[in-house]
Amino acid sequence: MSERFTRLNARFPHKRVFITGAGSGLGLELAKQLAGDGWTLGLFDRNLERLTSVEAAFAEAGVKVVAYPGDVTQPDELTVAVNSFAATHDGLDVMINNAGVAGAGSMMEVSLEDWRWIIDINLMGVVHGSRAAIPHLQRNGRGLLINVASAAAFASAPGMISYNATKAAVVSISETLVNELRPIGTQVSVAMPTFFRSSLLETLRGPEHSRVLANEAMQRSEYPVEQAARDLLTESADGRTYIVLPKSARMMWRLKRWMPLRFLDQVRSLTQRRSSVE
């Protein structure tokens, strides 16, 4: 078998990974690509029907896989699943906090109920997943924790306030964990991809005009989910803390850090032009 992720495999020869939101989209693609290199998969998703189908397909292909139906907003469910996987496979090497949902709308358009909903999943889901995984990574004396945020975390485009805020929080949590976990030998990476075609918008809550704009932005993307997963795994294996995807988006990231007000002006102008055209 030809391995695609030789550096990652060399770092973690036992090849044990746990992925949240693994029933579709980026989570499923990450699982597929690691399965191709012989990794043992722990898959967590709230959609039981989809998760069962994914588990059956992997098992039929000879992949070592255990599926755990559950909700990342329920810390006990996620902790029990991670503990079970680690106990069954004598440890855990890589934890990927991938589960997330989409939200759109301005400050006054997003209801408080929708704020609580997206915070519970996008932010607290990462908190719960990290708290579940860190004891096992600590026991190993090494490990890799990958948190999936979004380029929305730094782009701060208008009309996506709740999504932007939760993904920015994921970046901040990841930055803090870099130093908290360094003494135990655990690497922390945070992925910040731009739009790519996935099932993310199935969950989107927000006004209809925001839904239309988000869908059109996703359809315009020429960055396939397969490439996003491959790039994420390759760059995390290289030890990167900040993984901005695709590479062409890194200039946006640098501009935001070097000239934040100019960056915000450009984002506002671009958003206004797209809104006027569409």
> How far is Cα of residue 87 from the mean position of the Cα atoms in its chain?
24
122 CB burial (10 A radius; 0-12, 13-18, 19+): buried
Mind listing the pLDDT tens digit for each residue in 82-113?
Answer: 999 999 999 999 999 999 999 999 999 999 99
Amino acid, single-letter form, for residue 102: A
Decide: pTM greater than 0.85: yes
> Exactly one of 68, 163, 223, 242 is catalytic; which is it?
163
Q: Compute how many other C-beta atoms are within 10 angstroms of the C-beta atom of residue 133.
A: 27
Is 223 annotated as catalytic? Answer: no
269 CB burial (10 A radius; 0-12, 13-18, 19+): exposed
Check whether the bond before 246 is cis (ω within 30° of 0): yes
Residue ranges and CATH numbers for the domains of the chain are 6-277 (3.40.50.720)
pLDDT score for 242:
98
239: left (phi over 0), alpha (psi -120 to 50) or beta: left
Mind listing the pLDDT tens digit for each residue in 129-150?
Answer: 999 999 999 998 889 999 999 9
